[in-house]
Amino acid sequence: MATSGLTLKARVFKSGSWTLGSYAYAQILRFISNLILTRLLFPQAFGLMMIVQSISSGITMVTDLGASQSIIRSERGDEPGFVNTAWTVQILQGGLVALLLTVTAPLGAAWFSQPQILYLMPMVGLNALLASFRSTNSALADRRLDAKWVTLLELGSSTFGTACTIFFSWLYRSPYALVMGTIAGTVFSVALSHKILPGIRNRFAWDKDAARGIFGFGSKLALSSTVTFLTGEGSRLLTGSLVTSALLGMIGLSANLALMTWQLIQKLSGRILFPAYSEVFRERPQDLPKVVLKSRMIQVVPVWLSSLVLVIVGPWLISRLYDTRYAAVGEIIRIHAIGMMISILNGSYTGVLWAMGRVGLSTTMLVVQTVIQWACLFLGHHLGGSLGMILGGSSAGWFNYIMTATVYSRLGLWSPKFDLPVVAASVGIAVYAWFNFSFDLVAGL
């Protein structure tokens, strides 16, 4: 409750500072671990984990009952009865995810012709079940825009989990080691969440009114989450069915680097911007356009600049950090970075429609984005094979921007004076990259 007397701006700044620090540390830790793991494991291992994680994310999103989000947005979100009912719902969802991952494992192994998936999916399901016991005080902290203790918990658990992953990878040299390390980190995180996060002590409870509110919101969220899955993880699964697991691993490595700054923005949007937008819309809706523009500028500029750096020095960076097996990643990362230059204009509106209560409109836009994303992937693969598919997937954000600009213009939230120069500069960078692209290096993908 230490933040309850602070203004919204002060709470956003304080929580944002903790989140930024946590993300910077997490990315350094991931970067170091990637350098080590790519030497201990083969590219196919990362491709297999991408497939399994995408399936897991899809099942999690489709079954999402919105327990944490309900705590953040509900007027009863700080009442013990409501919070403990949300915790119970959260565990029920975790059990459902674990069950579905286990029973669909044979189908996943057969579909992707990867026998190891048969055992990887139940292991990831166990991790989902264990993670569902995490204390709801993390959601209460997000509700109050108080990120200190949640951030410290994340730093500790990510460090422990990464260390375990590296150890298991050194010991076993198989993709199972990646899951074993994740499970170790999850157990550590769940245990500490109940020890160090201040707030309500969780216990099983069932408040009918609270459950009704959670399921009511969760039903809307599940539909939106399902479409979000088809756009993101669903696209990765589609990619995995069209290319080899080795190439999928390279695409995943490239995406992790190219989306590093964007992932920070997503984290900020979920933990800070969505609660902040909700408060502004509730108390002073006339200020929302100004607040959205400021937050979008803060999001777009760093992502665009980091993408520019990757377009220029991506191949050189990959050649210095990884061995020759990953040489093609240098050109793939250029493609991903150019796509992100426009995709960030779309993504910088994350959380706005939900804060305005326009969940239906948000879902409709996601449906259109998914159709465009999948169409670009299929058409790209049909015309240019694996390289065409990568180009097509990255170009989807450019087509989606037309819809984004149209919708938010009608809501009075589009900013052409800011957006159009970004679009023009992105076109120029794309032309530069085209004439400096090493087609020979990726021709055999």
Q: How far is 271 from 277, CA to CA, in rounded Å? A: 11
> d(Cα 241, Cα 237) in Å, to the nearest integer?
6
Please count the residues of the chain: 445
For each of the chain's 445 residues, which pLDDT tens digit applies? Answer: 444 556 666 766 676 677 777 777 877 888 888 888 888 887 778 878 888 888 888 888 778 777 877 777 767 767 888 888 989 999 999 999 999 999 999 998 998 888 899 999 999 999 999 999 999 888 877 777 677 777 888 888 889 999 999 999 999 888 899 999 999 999 999 999 898 888 888 899 898 888 887 777 666 666 666 666 666 666 666 666 677 767 777 887 788 777 777 777 776 666 677 778 877 887 888 999 999 999 899 889 988 999 999 999 988 888 888 777 778 888 889 999 999 999 999 989 988 887 787 877 888 888 888 889 889 988 988 888 888 888 998 899 999 999 999 999 999 999 999 999 999 999 999 999 888 887 766 665 6
CA atoms of 227 and 89, how far apart (whole Å) = 22
pLDDT for 155: 85
271-304 exposure pattern, b = at least 16 Cβ within 10 A, e = fewer: bbbbbbbbbbbeeeeeebeebbbebbeebbeebb
**Residue 433: alpha-carbon gap to chain centroid:** 27
Cα–Cα distances in angstroms (integers) from residue 250 to residues 12, 244, 311, 325, 334, in the given order? 36, 10, 17, 9, 13
What's the gap between Cα 144 and its chain centre? Answer: 22
What is the predicted pLDDT for the residue at 2? 45
Give the tens place of pLDDT for each residue, 332-348. 899 999 999 999 999 89
274, 72 Cβ separation under 8 angstroms: yes
Residues 91-109: pLDDT tens digits? 999 999 999 999 999 998 9
Q: In this predicted structure, what is the pLDDT of residue 184?
A: 94
Q: pTM value?
A: 0.63
Q: Which residues of 48-72 are buried (b: 16+ CB within 10 A; e: fewer)?
A: bbbbbbbbbbbbbbbbbbbbbbbbb
**Phi, psi for residue 52 in degrees, rounded to 5:** -65, -40
Are residues 373 and 350 in contact, defined by beta-carbon separation less than 8 angstroms?
no
Closest CA to 77 of 4, 137, 5, 36: 137
Q: Give me the pLDDT at residue 345, please.
A: 93
User: Secondary structure of 134-198 in the HEC alphabet?
Assistant: CCCHHHHHHHCCCCHHHHHHHHHHHHHHHHHHHHHHHHHCCCHHHHHHHHHHHHHHHHHHHHHCC
Single-letter amino acid, residue 5:
G
d(CA 221, CA 207): 20
Confidence at residue 129, expressed as pLDDT on a 0 to 100 scale: 95
CB-based contacts of 56, cutoff 8 Å, min separation 6: 97, 101, 121, 124, 125, 128
